Amino acid sequence: MYNFDFVKPGSVADAVAALAGEDAQPLSGGQTLIPSMKARLNAPETLVSLTGIPDLVGVCREGDALVIGAATTHAQVARDAAADFPGLAALAGQIGDPAVRNRGTIGGSLANNDPSACYPAAALGTGATIVTDRREIGADDYFQGMFATSLEEGEIITSVRLPIPQASAYAKFVQPASRFALTAAFVARYASGVRVAITGASENGVFRWAEAEAALSSDFRADAISGLSASAHEMIADLHGTAAYRAHLVGVMTRRAVAAAG
């Protein structure tokens, strides 16, 4: 790790101001940034911690949505979302290990947009709204491919507003070593229809599986999509699975999520 300056502002406004400095990066739970700094793959001049801003932490229900502060840890979401949105709480409870869940945050995960992360599936699968210091971004516009989002330089996620579905579940098949998602499906059923978001599989990051959404919107049963298969085109191929295997898992995990959602 190289030397860096560390600031811990107490408000979003101060954080935004600090991020305007030369080569400053926001630090939330640090579950990706810190290891990459330790490996000397990332060397910000200044780290702006977002964990000292009370407004960014907490889970609360607002009407038909659950609003989660960006600096809320996975462990807190697993606990505090359980009553209102069990599918989301279960997803949060499967991220990493206890140490990761007690440090990592929803905002950090969404800002990083790792193609194998869990939260992007929940955000896209619910059609969440990403609230930042300057605007609101719909999930369908937010995710821009592997490690890419529509966040601007210095823009901070402050909260995430997730519409609470009638039923939902997350089915995750883990990459054996990292236990990130090798392929995972988040399925959410709303009065308006069903959304299916797939993470871990695509070279383009999290994506919606439109064919499955259409089929499930008219018949919310696993069998309704048994004939569907995702294309292996632009699926990730690595040590842990071929593109064809991931494409196959898209179907398997989606069906399992539907079955679990009931």
| Residue ranges in contact with other proteins by CB under 8 A | 2, 39, 173, 176-178, 182, 239-242, 244-245, 248-249, 252
If DSSP codes are grouped into helix, strand and coil, which group holds residue 3? Answer: coil
Nearer to other proteins, 195 or 246 (CB): 246
Nearer to other proteins, 173 or 209 (CB): 173
Smallest distance, Å, CB 36 to other proteins?
11
Structure tokens at 179: 């236990």
Strand segments, DSSP code E, in the chain are 5-7, 24-27, 46-49, 59-62, 65-69, 129-132, 136-138, 157-163, 167-174, 181-190, 193-199, 207-208
Smallest distance, Å, CB 245 to other proteins?
5
Smallest distance, Å, CB 176 to other proteins?
4
Nearer to other proteins, 2 or 23 (CB): 2
Smallest distance, Å, CB 126 to other proteins?
25
d(CA 148, CA 113): 6
Smallest distance, Å, CB 158 to other proteins?
30
**Closest-CA residue to 121 (of 172, 167, 166, 53):** 172
Nearer to other proteins, 8 or 240 (CB): 240
Smallest distance, Å, CB 217 to other proteins?
24
**Closest-CA residue to 230 (of 203, 252, 256, 214):** 252
Strand segments, DSSP code E, in 5-115 are 5-7, 24-27, 46-49, 59-62, 65-69
Nearer to other proteins, 39 or 191 (CB): 39
- In the sheet where 24-27 sits, what is the strand order? 5-7, 46-49, 24-27
Nearer to other proteins, 67 or 249 (CB): 249
d(CA 130, CA 189): 20
DSSP 59: E
